[in-house]
């Protein structure tokens, strides 16, 4: 191999490394890691520039030699492309060349993969792992780039659906763990997260529940300041794991009033009652009827809908990110006339005080998930009776409501019920468990529910956070750190 061929191969590797570093930089949230990646990117650009200059010099010398016209044309074309590649390395903005569309299309096919490893990096048997994965899903894998506890690489010409399926069922993690790694954290393509590792729910508390009679239920119900409404089993389990017994009690108490069963305890600094509705807003036990009856019976100052929802943007959101519904829009009410659909619903805001508290008092809350911490998106949330798992339908909704941060099924009914109550504020806090795009499964539901409940608990455990609603903190709360 001559020097020119060696330089060309080195440049191809350097350009691939530069693309990986830039992709990692774009996905990174940690400021310290961003600075380290910026330094690495600058260093690889300088190397590319030096090697490109040397290749240009060799090509210039070659054109001075006595070559055939065909060879001279080839060298001239290669020199033009080399200058364009050098400009890309300097500005990270490719200059159009005859081959650029094909290069861009090829780049779009690449998957960018982030995985975790134990502290002892020497145990990672990369070459063996690379061979197994190539045999399983095909394609070409680049050499991994280390960055702290995470490593990343690109995978081109891979059978994408097969790879994603292998990730979903844990087959990739199994081989990775066997050969010295831990978990595939994220699989991205053009910035869109196609797969994400979701950790198991940490064991907060082994809940003991004791049934009580009507008389004691009514006595405790008169002290309740906050109603927590859930729907699914993971939502209920997440709430109960963070509830503590009332002062003087050893268990969370459970009792019924009329048609609704409640579980009573402390959540943060407040007496709370947890109950649940069936899925959706309508129906005899839907969120509208359940919230209305519960407000009439308990007279709470605040209602929190806690649980899971769907996300709408795989580029800006991740599984288990928390949605705080500044307002709810019911998309079900429509006028349909000669093929035209007009939404007739209205936007219902959350409580003013609760909106401010969850916007300002969440600062300092942290929860890890895969390659980055959970984020909070406060804005418009769509609500309807449909359990959506169809990308076209979801995209049509988002086209009509481009500011929406997600969607779910119970918010519209609960917000309407609370709006009719004079002294009760309401807010919905739900985390993303799927994308409503045809890939729905239950894998992320437990941790997503835990994330939403964790945020709510963090806000409500701060002193006097609900004092503006006329609610006092529980005196001498044995479960409060301060």
pLDDT in tens, the chain (482 residues): 667 777 777 877 888 788 777 777 777 766 667 767 777 787 788 778 777 767 766 665 554 454 444 444 445 444 544 454 455 445 544 434 344 444 444 445 799 999 998 876 777 899 999 999 999 999 999 999 887 778 999 999 999 999 999 999 999 999 999 999 999 999 999 889 999 999 999 866 678 999 999 999 999 999 999 999 999 999 999 999 999 999 999 999 999 999 999 999 999 999 999 999 999 999 999 999 999 999 999 999 999 999 999 999 999 999 999 999 999 999 998 888 877 888 888 899 999 999 999 999 999 999 999 888 999 999 999 999 999 999 999 999 999 999 999 999 999 999 999 999 989 999 999 999 999 999 888 999 999 999 999 999 999 999 999 999 999 999 866 555 44
- Answer whether 455's CB lies under 8 Å from 354's CB: no
Return the number of other C-beta atoms located less than 10 Å from residue 118's C-beta: 13
Taking only the tens place, the pLDDT of each residue in 130-168 is 999 999 999 999 999 887 778 999 999 999 999 999 999
Instruction: Give pLDDT, residue 60.
Output: 53
Taking only the tens place, the pLDDT of each residue in 354-367 is 999 999 999 999 99
Task: Name the fold adopted by 209-469.
Answer: Rossmann fold (3.40.50)
Please give the Cα distance from 466 to 357 (Å, whole number).
Answer: 8
Instruction: Give pLDDT, residue 334.
Output: 84
Taking only the tens place, the pLDDT of each residue in 183-194 is 999 999 988 999
The residue ranges of every structural domain in the chain are 3-102, 110-196, 209-469
Return the number of other C-beta atoms located less than 10 Å from residue 117's C-beta: 19
Q: What is the CA radius of gyration of the chain?
A: 28
Please give the Cα distance from 237 to 230 (Å, whole number).
Answer: 10
Instruction: Give pLDDT, residue 81.
Output: 43
Spatial CB neighbours of 210, under 8 Å, sequence gap ≥ 6: 249, 250, 251, 252, 253, 254
Please give the Cα distance from 436 to 450 (Å, whole number).
Answer: 20
Enter the tokens of residue 104: 């861009």
pTM over 0.75: yes
Spatial CB neighbours of 93, under 8 Å, sequence gap ≥ 6: 87
Among 159, 287, 299, 166, smallest CA distance to 221 is for: 299
Instruction: Give pLDDT, residue 93.
Output: 43
Task: Please provide the CATH number assigned to the domain covering 110-196.
Answer: 3.30.70
Find the helix or strand (DSSP H, E) in which 194 lies.
strand 192-196
Please give the Cα distance from 24 to 33 (Å, whole number).
Answer: 10
- Answer whether 377's CB lies under 8 Å from 317's CB: yes
């Amino acid at each position: 191999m001559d020097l020119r061929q060696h330089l060309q191969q080195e440049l191809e590797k350097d350009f691939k490394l530069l693309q990986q570093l830039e992709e990692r930089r774009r996905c990174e949230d940690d400021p310290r890691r961003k600075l380290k990646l910026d330094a690495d990117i600058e260093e690889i650009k300088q190397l590319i520039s030096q090697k490109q200059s040397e290749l240009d010099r060799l090509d210039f010398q070659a054109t001075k030699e006595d070559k055939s016209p065909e060879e001279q044309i080839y060298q001239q074309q290669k020199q033009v492309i080399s200058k364009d590649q050098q400009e890309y390395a300097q500005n990270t903005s490719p200059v159009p060349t005859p081959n650029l569309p094909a290069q861009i299309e090829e780049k779009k096919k690449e998957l960018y993969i982030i995985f975790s490893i134990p502290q002892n990096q020497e145990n990672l048997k990369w070459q063996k792992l690379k061979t197994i994965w190539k045999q399983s899903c095909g394609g070409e894998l680049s050499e991994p780039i280390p960055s702290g506890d995470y490593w990343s690489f690109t995978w081109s010409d891979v059978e994408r659906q097969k790879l994603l399926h292998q990730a979903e069922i844990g087959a990739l993690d199994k081989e990775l763990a066997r050969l010295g790694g831990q978990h595939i954290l994220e699989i991205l393509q053009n910035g869109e997260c196609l797969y994400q590792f979701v950790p198991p729910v940490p064991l907060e508390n082994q809940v003991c529940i004791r049934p009580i009679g009507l008389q004691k239920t009514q006595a405790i119900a008169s002290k309740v300041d906050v109603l927590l409404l859930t729907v699914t089993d993971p939502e209920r389990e997440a709430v109960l794991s963070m509830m503590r017994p009332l002062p003087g009690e050893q268990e969370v108490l459970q009792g019924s009033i009329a048609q609704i069963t409640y579980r009573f305890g402390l959540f943060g600094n407040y007496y709370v009652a947890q109950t649940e509705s069936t899925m959706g807003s309508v129906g005899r036990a839907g969120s509208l009827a359940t919230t209305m009856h519960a407000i009439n019976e308990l007279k709470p100052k605040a209602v929190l809908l806690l649980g899971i929802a769907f996300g709408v943007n795989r580029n800006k959101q991740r599984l288990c990110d928390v949605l705080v519904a500044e307002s709810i829009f019911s998309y079900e009410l429509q006028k349909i006339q000669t093929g035209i659909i007009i939404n007739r619903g209205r936007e219902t805001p959350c409580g003013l005080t609760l909106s401010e508290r969850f916007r300002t008092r969440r600062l300092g809350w942290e929860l890890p998930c895969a390659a980055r911490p959970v984020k909070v998106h406060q804005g418009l949330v769509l609500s309807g009776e449909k359990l959506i798992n169809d990308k076209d339908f979801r995209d049509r909704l988002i086209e009509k409501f481009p500011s929406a941060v997600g969607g779910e099924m119970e918010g519209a009914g609960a917000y309407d019920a609370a709006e009719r109550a004079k002294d009760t504020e309401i807010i919905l806090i739900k985390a993303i468990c799927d994308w409503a795009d045809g890939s729905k499964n239950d894998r992320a539901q437990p941790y997503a529910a835990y994330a939403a409940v964790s945020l709510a608990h963090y806000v409500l455990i701060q002193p006097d956070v609900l004092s503006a609603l006329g609610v006092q903190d529980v005196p001498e709360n044995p479960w409060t750190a301060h």
